[in-house]
């Protein structure tokens, strides 16, 4: 079971996408960027997913401050399509917080969840 916290903008869409892809393998908590990142740091959650307009601004800024830049990555920027291979690579590098542009949530979240499930041997 992966414990995932959702922060940032359009949390409802992110939550729905995570649940749709992860099904019984994920437990989703909708919260704020600050509370979510603290949960991940404290070990009460495994991964953080957040969205904002650019995918790298409000989506991750607080997470970077709390979890460190090396643990966070933007997976889908504004004005571009998210790529499955790149997301897989970032997941394999051990990133624990992911930022997405609001327009790409529905496309990017399934990639992230699939990559995470694969990494943890849940598929």
Partner 1 sequence: MDILQNTSFMEIVVIVLLTGLTAVAAHLGKSVFHDGIRPILPEFLEGRMKRSELASISFGLSIGFIVSVGLSFAISFKMLNPWLLFLPTDILGVLATRWWIAALLGGGWGLVALFGLTGVQAAFTMLPIDLLGSLGELSTPVLVAFTAFPIIAILYQFGWVRALIAGILALIVRQLLPVFGGVFTERANEEVEKARQLADITFPKDADFAAKISALKEAAGQNNQIQDLISEASNHFSLGSTIGGFTMQIAVLMLMGMILLISFAVAKDLKNKNDIAIDSEEENIFAARTKRIFKGLPILAGIGALLAVAANMGLMTGSEVSGPILQQAWQSTGQEQSDLLQSAAIADIIRGISFIPLIVTTALATGVYGVVGLTFVFPIGYLLPNPILAGVVGALWICLEVIALRGIGRFLQRFPSLRESSDNIRSSMNSMIELALFIGGAFAAMKMAPDAVGLSLTIYVLLYAANEGLGRPIMKLAAGPVAIIITGIILNLLYFLHLV
Residues near partner 1, by CB under 8 A: 7-12, 31-35, 38, 52-62, 64-66, 69, 74, 77-81, 99, 101-103
Q: Are 19 and 26 in contact (CB under 8 A)?
A: yes
Contact between residue 49 and residue 4 where contact means Cβ atoms under 8 Å apart: yes
Closest CB to partner 1 among 13 and 122?
A: 13
22 contact partners, CB below 8 Å, separation of at least 6 = 2, 4, 28, 113, 117
Name the minimum Å distance from CB 21 to partner 1: 19
CB of 114 to partner 1, least distance (A): 19
């Amino acid at each position: 079971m992966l414990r995932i916290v959702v922060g940032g903008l359009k949390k409802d869409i992110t939550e729905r996408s995570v649940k749709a892809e992860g099904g019984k393998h994920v437990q989703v908590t909708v919260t704020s960027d600050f509370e979510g990142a603290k949960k991940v740091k404290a070990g009460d959650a495994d991964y953080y997913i957040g969205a904002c307009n650019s995918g790298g601004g409000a989506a991750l800024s607080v997470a970077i401050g709390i979890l460190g830049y090396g643990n966070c990555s933007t997976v889908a920027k504004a004005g571009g399509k998210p790529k499955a291979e790149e997301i897989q690579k970032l997941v394999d590098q051990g990133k624990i917080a992911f930022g997405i542009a609001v327009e790409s949530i529905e496309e990017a979240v399934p990639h992230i969840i699939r990559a995470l499930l694969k990494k943890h041997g849940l598929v």
